[in-house]
Amino acid sequence: MICVLADSRGAGYGMFVAAVITPFVLTWSLRRTARRQFAYLCVPTTLHFTADGYEVRTAQQTMSLRWSFLDRVVTGEEFWLFFKGKKQFTGFLPRRAFTPEQQAALDAVLGAK
């Protein structure tokens, strides 16, 4: 508005158009990025547990995590959330992927954290 009043209408109109368009472009960009980055969560996954940690395998990647790496495990109704340090989120496991007996066994192992 100041640019328009100061006789710099081109800059004023440009800033106004940018202010109107930016929320739409930003929303589209965030959705596009999220779809690309989280596509790996929606593929068949194999979990392999050992006394040292666990391994997650998909067709595109394999990721291993040792229990000793974790500083904190938060047990919720639907997930186990893994943290390194106080706030650094490292991973999660969905509870529904396991039978009640397996959930109890994992609660026992993860409860030590």
Q: What is the pLDDT of residue 101?
A: 93
Per-residue pLDDT reduced to its tens digit, 22-33: 888 888 888 887
Nearest Cα to Cα of residue 92 among 78, 108, 77, 80: 80
Stronger pLDDT, 6 or 81, i.e. the higher one: 81
Which residues touch 51 (CB under 8 Å, ≥6 apart)? none
Structure tokens, 50: 């050992």
The structure tokens 């291993």 sit at 64
Q: Specify the pTM.
A: 0.54
Instruction: Compute the distance between CA of residue 75 and CA of residue 42 in angstroms, rounded to an integer.
Output: 22
Q: How confident is the model at residue 113 (pLDDT cuts 50, 70, 90)?
A: low
Q: What is the pLDDT of residue 28?
A: 84
Instruction: Compute the distance between CA of residue 98 and CA of residue 93 in angstroms, rounded to an integer.
Output: 10
- Mean pLDDT, the chain, rounded, equals 80
Domains assigned to the chain = 2-37 (no CATH), 43-111 (2.30.29)
101 three-class SS: helix
Looking at the chain, the whole-number percentage of residues with pLDDT higher than 70 is 87
Q: Three-state SS across 48-61?
A: EECCCEEEEECCCC
